[in-house]
Every structure is written in structure tokens, then in C-alpha cells.
Structure 1
Amino acid sequence: MATSTVQYDYQPEHLNISEPSKYTADQLKSEEMVINLGPQHPSTHGVLRLEVVSDGEIIVDVVPHLGYLHRCFEKHAESLPFNQIIPYVDRMDYVAAINSEHAYVMGVERMLGIEKDIPKRIEYIRVLVAELNRLASHFVAIGTYAMDIGAYTPFLWLMRDREHILRMLEWLSGARMLYNYVWVGGLFYDLPVGFEERCQEFVSYLKPKLRELQQLVIDNKIFVERTANVGVLPLPVAINYGCSGPVLRGSGLRWDLRKVDGYSVYPELEFNVPIGEGLVGTVGDCWDRNYVRVQECWESLGLIEQCVEKLLGEHRRTPDFDPQAVVPKKIRPQAMDFYIRAENPKGELGFFFRTDGRSDIPVRCKARACSFNNLSVIAEISRGAMLADLVAIIGSIDVVMGEVDR
């Protein structure tokens, strides 16, 4: 039988071959590849192209490329009166439109000096519908995230429960997702008759569903192994990048503008601020960020219950109640630079206004979008990860590109 001699260009140490390799470490390094992820990938909740530099299966760098939706929110806002900007606010984070409206309207009211004139019933209604919308936003975040990493059932269950919320908000405003319900100085309309009771029924319905969600997703062994110790975001890095919302709280900082700034009637309500604790992995990993969102769903249910109790009690509807009584006929703030911020489901949404005191159209309007800052940290938490984990990392940030490319 003929024999052959095998010659190794690279000789692994475990073979214990005395002759050393003639290749250096740099020569043995494989070539890097540039891979385009997107722009249509579902985990981005919009169009985002990621330029991924990889060394085999290891991510070397990630460069996000924006500029596909062209919402042009800020330039639209600089050509419209303040009250006509609200429908454009809806279209930034289109899965949390009422939360965005609430932040914008509070800013205009403070500039006009009418914030303290808003009736308490209006404030409780605003918080009620904002927390309903927060639930709907988190359902999209958790459901699509589970689907991104391979679990389809949670997505169907959460879309089913989100549909209850969307039907209630459609009953309230006439629109399914883009509401134009929170107005400067008031509301488009009072709550429909029976809305408070419907909220109570929904809370009773959702509580056992949230427990099922905890078992199906967050405590699921496969989900834990797929997300724990993946995409770890250290707290100092999160702060330096201006992250906020569940992305920041997932890294262990108890920072929630509803507590810190105490706007609207939130100081009169009781709720906790969940944070990532590294229960199954490392503080600030993908699992922690989703854990925080699930816990926030429980807190939102508690806030809804408290608002309904107030709206059926001391701030119940009266025949002479007019939700538009404080709505100004002309919105013309004094000349100033002004910034307002609020806690959206994804983090801090802020609006900067510059006014000249002569016009009802802002000279400058700038949106501080939480998804933009949260997305900017993607490279920091992806370097060194496996290519297959990139989708899990992106989905855990929960970006909506309408807010990024505004």
C-alpha cells in the first residue's frame, strides 16, 4: 500500500510537533468581510442598513447607515402652527403615538404658561391613554423580539392582546395608531361612555396573560440561553451614549422621567421603576432589557387601575365638562428657547423649541429621539459577539426608525 506524507503549514500545539510553525499570528488571521444586514431586516422595525465587519463569525465592527424613511419631522414642524404639528409627532414613533403627543403638548403648554390650568380629569385621561399605549408598544417590542430569535407563538399572543388596546384607542379617538387625541390645552374629546369600565375589564383579562408571557418567553430556557450574557451594555457606556428607557434601566440605573421630573399627575400615582439585575446572566444584557419591559407592563397595569379609580371617583365626568375649554384660540408663545422631555416607552423623548414671540410657527423645532441615542450604542455592544447574535442585540434595543430618521 502506498503511503503519503502530510505536511502541515500550521501545526496546532496539541499535536506536539517539535518544528514550530513558519507563520506568524498576523498571517494566520483570517481576512475580514463586510456584510450588509438590511435595510429591510424585521428586527429594526423599519428600514436600517447595518454595515457589519466580521472576522469569520466574530463581529469586528458595526456601522449603522440611516436615511431611508425621510420623515422630515423637524422641517415640517417649522412651517406649521403649533397645534397642527401634533399629527406629525404621531408619525415618529408610530407604535407609541399618544406618548409622543403627551410630551409635545406639555412643552407647548409650559411655554404658554397654561400648564396649571389643565383640569385634573384631563391629566388623568392623558396618563391613562399613555399607559395603554406604553403597553401596546412593549407588546410589539417583546413579541417581535421573540420572533426575531426564533419563537413565533409569543408574537401571535402579544399581537392578539395589543389588538384589544388598539380597538380601545380607536374607540377613543377614531384612529387605529396615529391618534391626534392629546391637544394643546386639553383633548380632542372626553372618554366615551363606558371606557373606564372597559379598561377595568381589560386589566382583569391581561393579568393572567402577562403571567403566561413570563413563563413562555422570559423564563423559557431557550430564550434565556439565547439572550443571557449577550449584548452586555455596561452602565457607564449607556450613560455616555445618552441611552434611556429600558435600555438604560436594563443596565441597572433606576432612571425614569415619570419619577425624576414628576410631570402630569405621575407624582400622585404609585409605581415602581424596574431595573436589570443580572438574574440569569450579566447586568445589562439582552435578557435584562426584555425583563425590564415585561416588568414595566405590570407597572402600567397598576397605573391604569389607579387612573380609572380617579376617573370614576373624585374626577368623574360631569355634564358641563369640556375637554377643550382651555384650548387656546391662538398659540403664540413669548420669544424663548425651551426644552421639554418625557418618558416614552423607549426612553427620553425631548422637544426643543425656539420662538420669536411674533408667530404661531416655531422658528426651530428639534426632536431628541430616544431610539436615535439607543441605536448609537449598537457598535459598542456588538464587537466581539457572534454574527448570529447581532439580530438578538438589535431587537433588544427596540428601535423604531421613524423616530431615528426624523
Structure 2
Amino acid sequence: MSVALETPQQLTVRTVALPDGRDLLTHLPERTPLAWIRRGEGLVAWGEAARLTLPAESDGSGAERFRAAAHWLSAIMSGADIDDAVGLPGTGPVVFGGFTFDPGSPDSTLVLPRVIVGRRGGRTWLTTVCDRPGAHPSDILTAMTPVRPVGPLHWSEGTLSTPEWGDAVASAVARIRGGDLDKVVLARDAHAEADSDIDARALLARLTRDYADCYAFSVAGMVGATPELLIRREGDAVTSLVLAGTRPRGATCERDGELAAELTGSDKDVEEHGYAVDSLRETLSPLCSAIEVSEEPELLRLANVQHLASPVRATLLPGASTLDVVAAMHPTAAVGGTPTATAMRVIRELEGMDRGRYAGPVGWVDAHGNGEWGIALRCAEIEGRRARLFAGCGIVAGSDPEAELAEADSKFRVMRGALTD
């Protein structure tokens, strides 16, 4: 990958405490909103002091774009004049990013915003990024226009029709039973079009309200609420969360319990989850020590679905960076399959579409390497009046096409609800 990594002249970065307890989203203007929020805390930002957009990789190895991003990130951070009066993870300069799922896809994007408002542990701060000493970013004075409703939507099917996607699932099951691979994750897309440009802030407000336990994000047009934490880094401490195996929530407590028992007792789902845990452990081993994973998965209940979940804790080895870990972990078995190379080939053949940044890493990193990166799931790509939604399902030998279609529909409901007034 040959990329001209243009970086601005020395940046002046100032972080100060902000005596403001408002909802973080109320700070966001409509233009270029960036966000990473969970349970009312996190980061919102806007404006662009610097931006990197990467082309498709030439060799398809998957590592080039992360190396290019790390080089650009290092140049940005090392050349900045930083005055941070707060000193928490997420203060000082913060870069938001989203990487494509497939290294053969262009548009992996990193953005250093002009203005950042953050909150952690009840403390709120303001960070400004300027091109020269003493300057004041005009972006901070951006008019906060009222959030606009989305309005009427016109829906259409995605790349594959419902029957075609069911056939793709059946083909994947046949290959798994034939011994080609153990698991593959197949995704679907769907399209919606509004009468006017979609205000991402409306989606973020609904996602943070309805899915407070997920990580609501907005990065370079990709908006969603993911339950899947790829990595959180604070100092040398690394945590992650493996999710694989899903059931919808029940309409009654009794039905909810039945679905939970069905999930925890399902050989198919436990097998799928085990592949994801083994994949993560193997991936982290060269970069981390003291890797701890619970012996049995937990049940994670979200607003619309429930998952088998395994928290992971590890210690980062000296010299390993946040993006090193992100690069090594992507794609996990939870969004790609097992073995990875075979699963990627099957995905390219059967899905019939370019996922773009869906199911790729999305998150943020600060000048000290602290950061949070999730997997871009339960999301939509917003471009003007158009929204492209995504949902994926893990396919193993015991998968049934009709059941997988139902699971994909339950995952679509997150963004359908966020888009519907």
C-alpha cells in the first residue's frame, strides 16, 4: 500500500475541565458528528483537524492499512503541542477511526476532530485542536441546530433477496458439513431512503436511549450501537468481550427465560461461541500476557437480543500498540469464521457484496494509546438521504436457513427502530 501520509503543521491541543452535566449529544452540531457513548459517558466530537482515508490493500494481507494508520497516528501525536489539564483516558488529542472489514475494500478512515467533549466518572472536559499557537477553532462556535426527525422512509431489499440469502446460508452449511471450514459469518444488507438528508444525531439519540449497554458510535458516516467490544486499553491493561450465539428477547418473562435456556443449552451456539473464544485467545497470545477467560460463557441480555458472552482480560506486552492488537484481532471468528482465510473466501463468494466498514473495527485512541475499539455491528452507513443497514449471522454445521433469517431480522430491528420516527 503506497499512501501519501499528509499531516498538518504542528497542532496545538488544549484540554480543560468543563463544568457541564448535559447529555453529551446536546453538544453535537449536525455536520461531521463523531461519537462513542455508553451509559451516558464517552466522547462526542466534530470538525476535522486531520483526516486519513486509506485505499484497498494491494496484497490483501490485512496488515498494511493498520501499519499505515499507526504511522500516521504516530506522526500526528508526536508532533502536537499538548496541554492536558485533566489527564484521563480520552483527554488530549483523540483520533476516531473505522476500518473496512475486508482489506480489499477502500475507505478505512481516521479523523482527528477540531473539538472534543468527553465525560468519564462524572468528570467532563473540552479539548480543542488548532493549527497554530493561540488560535481558537471556529468549529467550537458551530450553531447547534435542532435535531431533525428522519421522516418517511422508502425501504428496499439489499444485494441479495431474502430467498437468495437463504440459499447462501444453505450453501455455507453444505461446505461446513463437507469439511471445508468450521464456521462462517454471512451478512445481509438492506436499504432505506428518506425525503431529505438523515440527521445522524437523531439516530444516536435513539440508540443511546434504547441500547444504553451498547457502544453507540458515529464515525465517518457509519452510525450504530454495537454490543461487541473488541478491545479497551488503559495503560497496559487490555479487556475484551466475546459475543457469539444469539436469541431474541421474549415478550414475557417466562418466554424470555425459555429462550435463554434454549441458547445456553444449544450445542450449535455453544460450539460457535467456543470457536470465537479460542480464536481470540490465540490472537492475543503474541501481544499479551496473563490472558484470563471464564470457563463458561455468561448470558448477556440486551434490549432486543441475548448473547452468550465471555469477558477477557490481559496485560499488553511492552512495545505492543493499541492498533497492533486491533490488527491482530480482526477479523474475529465472531464476524468472519474459522479458519479465517477460508471463511473470508466463502464470504466474498456467497455474500455478493462489499461490506465496507460493517463488521470492521471502529473506535478511538488517544495520544497515550488508551482507547476503545468495537466491531461495527447493528449499524447503518448514512450518506445524505440514504441508509444502508447490515446484519450478520454465524453459520455452523447445525444452522438452519429459516432460523438464520429470523436472527438477521432481529438484528436489523436495531437500526430500523433508530431510523423510524
Q: TM-score range by the shorter chain?
A: under 0.3
* TM-score normalised over the length of structure 2: 0.24
- Which protein has the larger Cα radius of gyration, Structure 1 or Structure 2? 1
Question: Of Structure 1 and Structure 2, which has the larger fraction of its residues in strand?
Answer: 2
Question: Of Structure 1 and Structure 2, which has the larger fraction of its residues in helix?
Answer: 1
